[in-house]
Amino acid sequence: MQVMVFCALVMQGRFHAKDAIDFWGTKKKPEAKAEGVMDEAKAAEIFVNEPTVENAAAYLAWQRERFRRIQEAQAKLLEVFIKEQVGGIKATLVYYSTPDCPYCKSQDRILERVTKWLPLVNVRKGTDQVEAVPVIVVEVGEKRVRLDGVATELKIVQAMREANDK
């Protein structure tokens, strides 16, 4: 309760920037940018103050572009983090998959990123029989760690560190 009161006092009833949204129609309407392009400060304001189909489409286009940029930034953060975590560990990933497995297709994309980011990682196809796919066996020297199911980049890095620390 105290947190709610504090937030109400600090924000003074605002969720958006002060006076950004005119719920009562008392402010001059902002002009929309050409071809549905909006800058960050005006996107919500234009749409909420004048909810037309055109403004809704422009707002969605702005949100999609914003989301794409956020995803790019997150991918770069993940790449840097993984490189920091792995350091100079040289590993082989023995990968068991089948061509018709949808989970293997997801794993293929993840392994593609890992090998792009970590040139010391070698991926080779497993030839032994496994009960289910995908399976990755992380080998660092003579030490091994097995990952069953789709393994994220972070799971692969954890397994590399675990095998390295054994």
Q: Is 145 part of a structural domain of the chain?
A: yes
List phi, psi (to 5°) of 94: -90, 115
Q: What is the pLDDT of residue 19?
A: 61
Q: In terms of domains, do 60 and 33 share one?
A: yes
DSSP state for residue 28 in the 8-state scheme = P
Provide the CATH number for the domain around residue 120: 3.40.30.10
Q: What is the pLDDT of residue 6?
A: 47
Q: In terms of domains, do 151 and 101 share one?
A: yes
Spatial distance between the Cα atoms of 90 and 83, rounded to a whole number of angstroms: 12
Q: Is 7 part of a structural domain of the chain?
A: no
Both structure tokens of 18? 């002060």
Note if the pTM is more than 0.75: no
Q: In terms of domains, do 92 and 72 share one?
A: no
Element (H, E) at 140: strand 135-140
How would you list the strands of the sheet with 91-96, edge to edge?
121-125, 91-96, 135-140, 143-148
Count of domains observed in the chain: 2
Q: Is 6 part of a structural domain of the chain?
A: no
Spatial distance between the Cα atoms of 138 and 128, rounded to a whole number of angstroms: 15
State whether residue 153 is helix, strand or coil. helix
**Residuewise pLDDT in 10s, the chain (166 residues):** 554 544 554 455 444 555 666 666 666 655 554 454 556 667 788 888 888 999 888 888 888 998 999 999 998 998 898 888 888 888 889 999 998 999 999 999 999 988 888 877 878 888 888 888 999 999 999 999 999 999 999 999 999 999 888 7
Q: What is the pLDDT of residue 73?
A: 94
Both structure tokens of 159? 């397994």
For residue 162, CA distances in Å to 37, 47, 77, 125 come to: 48, 51, 22, 21
Which of 51, 78, 105 lies at the terminal end of a domain, its last residue?
78
Q: Is 11 part of a structural domain of the chain?
A: no
Q: Domain range for residue 159?
A: 87-165
Q: Is 9 part of a structural domain of the chain?
A: no
Spatial distance between the Cα atoms of 78 and 34, rounded to a whole number of angstroms: 35
Q: In terms of domains, do 63 and 104 share one?
A: no
Which of 29, 55, 78 lies at the terminal end of a domain, its last residue?
78
Q: Is 121 part of a structural domain of the chain?
A: yes
Instruction: State CA 135 to chain mean position distance.
Output: 23
